[in-house]
């Protein structure tokens, strides 16, 4: 019976997250959501989630990608597939690995913080006070955080992919400019309109998931402080499951 109750609670939590996403989308369409206060809140969140960590995150991605690309190129050459090494790097690392790692990074850095912050607003009664004052918390508190998290994921993904492509050139050709023609042809072959649209759509879905699911989980908290830890844990689990599902669906759409 306990397992059945847990399963029902799990599905209800997903349902509440979907309803929250719908309500947040509706609030985002309202012009009253775009005030000086909400813009300031969004900019603060973008600074914390993206700009503040940009140097360290970029360095980490450059080092990680250098190792992965070196291994990939070396294995391709060992198996006589050197002509496909760069294309494999673009398809596997730039289009798949980097966006997923970026989403996980932002989720770990800001996801738990957003769940906790919203849950504490629920515990302290701040959300009830906003409703009592006829102030929409979606427009005042939630929409700026959602926009900031989504923009942070997208911006870090673009920066990371650009850095990784530069690293890929240096690992494959070194500092020799003679490889620019072949590099440009490979870029044009891999990054066609369909690939770019899929990349942009997946990045948007990653950003939306990182933004919406933690806040929706925070709203699951009650006025009891003990409910905060459960909201954080449940929200992070649902977030990671969602990111994995988005990546799996993306791979299936491309290669299955």
**pLDDT, tens only, 107-161:** 888 888 888 888 888 888 888 788 788 777 888 888 888 888 889 999 999 999 9
CA-based angle 52:55:60, to the nearest 5?
120
102/60 Cα distance (integer angstroms): 11
Domain assignment of residue 35, given as a range: 2-255
Total domains in the fold of the chain: 1
Q: Compute the distance between CA of residue 183 and CA of residue 172 in angstroms, rounded to an integer.
A: 9
**In what helix (H) or strand (E) does residue 253 lie, and over which residues does it extend?**
helix 227-255
Instruction: Give the residue among 251, 195, 218, 224 at the shortest CA–CA distance from 149.
Output: 218
For residues 66 and 171, the answer to whether their CB atoms sit within 8 Å is yes
CB distance 151 to 50 below 8 Å: yes
Judged on CB neighbours under 10 Å (0-12, 13-18, 19+), 141 is buried
Q: What is the pLDDT of residue 220?
A: 84
Whole-angstrom distance, CA of residue 82 vs CA of residue 55: 32
Q: What is the pLDDT of residue 31?
A: 74
Percentages (nearest 5) of helix, strand, coil residues in the chain: 90, 0, 10
d(CA 35, CA 125): 24
Regions of the chain short of the pLDDT cut 70: 1-3, 5-6
255 Ramachandran zone, left/alpha/beta (phi>0; psi -120 to 50):
alpha
């Amino acid at each position: 019976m306990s397992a059945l109750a847990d399963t029902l609670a799990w599905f209800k939590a997903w349902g509440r997250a979907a309803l929250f996403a719908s309500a947040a989308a509706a609030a985002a369409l309202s012009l009253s959501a775009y005030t000086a206060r909400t813009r300031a809140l969004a900019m603060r969140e973008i600074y914390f989630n993206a700009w503040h960590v940009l140097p360290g995150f970029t360095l980490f991605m450059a080092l990680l990608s250098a190792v992965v690309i070196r291994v990939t190129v070396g294995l391709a050459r060992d198996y006589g597939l050197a002509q496909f090494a760069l294309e494999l790097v673009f398809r596997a690392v730039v289009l798949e690995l980097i966006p997923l790692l970026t989403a996980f990074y932002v989720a770990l850095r800001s996801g738990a913080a957003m769940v906790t912050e919203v849950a504490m607003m629920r515990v302290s009664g701040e959300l009830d006070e906003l409703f009592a004052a006829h102030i929409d918390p979606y427009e005042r508190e939630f929409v700026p955080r959602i926009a900031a998290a989504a923009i942070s994921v997208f911006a870090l993904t673009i920066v990371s992919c650009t850095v990784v492509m530069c690293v890929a050139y240096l690992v494959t050709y070194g500092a020799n400019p003679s490889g620019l023609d072949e590099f440009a042809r490979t870029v044009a072959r891999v990054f066609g309109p369909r690939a770019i649209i899929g990349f942009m759509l997946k990045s948007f879905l990653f950003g939306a998931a990182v933004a919406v699911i933690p806040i929706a989980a925070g709203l699951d908290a009650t006025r009891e402080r003990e409910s905060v830890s459960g909201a954080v844990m449940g929200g992070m689990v649902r977030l990671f499951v969602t990111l994995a599902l988005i990546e799996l669906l993306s791979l299936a759409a491309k290669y299955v």
